[in-house]
Amino acid sequence: MARIYGIIPARWGSTRFPGKALHPVAGKPLVQHVWERCCEATELADVILATDDDRIAAAARSFGARVELTSAVHPSGTDRLAEVASRLPDATHLINVQGDEPTIPAALIDRLARALTDDPALEMATAAARLDDPADFENPNIVKVVLAANGDALYFSRSPIPFAGFLHSIAGMPIYGHHGLYGYTRAFLQRFVSWPPSELEKIERLEQLRALENGVRIRVLVTEHEALGVDSPADVTPAEAALALLSLHP
């Protein structure tokens, strides 16, 4: 029987926004909004905040989150996730929810969980939304993904893909931006973190390419939800506006 955990990796260090996990957004720490969205999901057995920072841990416990302290030397949030998974012997699947997307829909988390449990052969899944702004297509901070006919990922890149993509979009071919939301089987997650970073992963600075380079298929769920990551202080005001809109139209 499937038992799915949502895990939110959170760290203090951030090149562009140190301490952003606890930065106040609409009167709450940023990561609390993410935790609250996860708690609304119905497919999760529990939600865990994984951090190596005592300040984040104390704040998370104060708003009721389950906290797991992890090593401070993890190179990525996925490695932090795997450490927590090793302490959850009953976990069959893990959902990695980025700690800086305060409007992540619980329904999307549930869709990801069901995609994994509905297909026992599926080891990894993620999400993407259509891009309609040419500036987003050119933005290297927005990861693009191209899909196979069956909905699996063909490739991810920070560069504009496919070539001349918005010309294709005009002709009816959608262009997708990747969401930083991942689901894994427990067994696959442990294999994934045992592999060294792949060459394409190092070039693109995208962990998911490690899976593709090792022959793993990644199912991509298309959503209408626009990812709203808080990557810098300038992103706080748009995030607060989106949260205000969410409270009016939950």
170 falls in which pLDDT band (50, 70, 90)? Answer: low
Q: How far is the C-alpha of 106 from the C-alpha of 117, rounded, in Å?
A: 17
Residue 246 has pLDDT above 70, yes or no: yes
pLDDT tens for residues 172-202? 788 999 998 999 999 999 999 999 999 999 9
CA 91 to chain centre: 19
Q: By mean pLDDT, which of 11-15, 36-40, 44-48, 230-234 is the weakest?
A: 11-15
Full domain range(s) for residue 221: 4-248
Between CA 27 and CA 34 the distance in angstroms is 14
For the chain, how many structural domains are there in total? 1
pLDDT at 216 over 90: yes
Residue type, position 106, single letter: A
Task: Note whether 128 and 222 are within 8 A (CB).
Answer: yes
- Alpha helices by DSSP H, 119-224: 134-138, 165-170, 186-194, 199-204, 208-213
Give me the CATH number covering residue 207. Answer: 3.90.550.10
pLDDT at residue 86 in the model: 95
| Tens digit of each residue's pLDDT (9 = 90 or more) over 75-121 | 888 989 999 999 999 999 999 999 899 999 999 999 999 999 999 99
17-34 confidence digits (pLDDT tens): 889 999 999 999 999 999
Which of the residue ranges 22-26, 138-142, 156-160 would you say has the lowest mean pLDDT?
138-142
Asked whether residue 250 carries a pLDDT value surpassing 60, the answer given is no
- 104 phi-psi bin (left φ>0, alpha ψ -120 to 50, beta other): beta
According to DSSP, residue 121 is labeled T
Query: What is the rounded distance in angstroms from the CA atom of residue 106 to the CA atom of residue 215?
Result: 30
- Whole-number Å distance between alpha carbons of 192 and 94: 13
Using DSSP's 3-state secondary structure scheme, residue 76 falls into coil
Tokens of 62: 């104060």
Question: What is the predicted pLDDT for the residue at 115?
Answer: 97
